[in-house]
Amino acid sequence: MATLSKALLHPAAKPLLFAACLLPFIWLVYGAFTDGLGANPAEYLIRSTGDWTLRFLCIVLAVTPLRTISNTPALARFRRMLGLFVYFYVLLHLLSYSGFDMGFDLADIAKDIAKRPFILVGFSAFVLLTPLAATSFNRAIKALGAKRWQTLHKLVYLIAGLGLLHFFWMRAGKNNFAEVAVYAAIIAVLLGWRVAQYLKKKGLQRLSDKRVQL
């Protein structure tokens, strides 16, 4: 663990992670310029950017459990960067949908969001992600105060649920739930771990209060 912590604290760790997080985007750009995105490139881009948004969301949610279980506090230094990549890919997802499906027609986009529940849910997740991305900087933390910042960023749990529901409804049209089940299981484990930790903390607090009373 000491070797891992040392590697995570190395000055090159963040640039390497940044480059790794950009790889899906670079692959998509390469595919777009080399006709490697299949028979329907627009659909491929929309689906792929959505998939990567959900994957990065799972990675962000996994940071705290991994940090705690492995006793590796250095993992926390990558959480904000990973969170910003969630926003980067969801923004690409929204732009792909807005451009390829709707031709950037704002009136049509607004009608489509109101008409189709799965798009409304996905757009709601994007809206909730926006303040999280906008406050993922030291100045914002200082301006909000640590407690309010932490409370705001707990919206990520709701966002995860909305993202999963968006994906479920999108796949429901084709009656294809295999990938949905995988993401649902991952998110359930990651959120379930947090609930277990919260209950454990509350239980220890009650035990401590009883001892004080005695």
According to the model, what pLDDT value does residue 201 have?
84
Rounded to a whole number of angstroms, the CA Rg of the chain reads 20
According to the model, what pLDDT value does residue 111 have?
95
Backbone angles phi, psi at 15, to 5 degrees: -60, -40
Cα separations (Å) of 65 from 3, 13, 90?
A: 19, 20, 24
For residue range 173-195, what is the model confidence (pLDDT) as tens digits?
A: 778 889 999 999 999 999 999 99
According to the model, what pLDDT value does residue 213 have?
61
For tokens 């990651």, name the residue.
190
For residue range 9-40, what is the model confidence (pLDDT) as tens digits?
A: 899 999 999 999 999 999 999 999 999 998 99
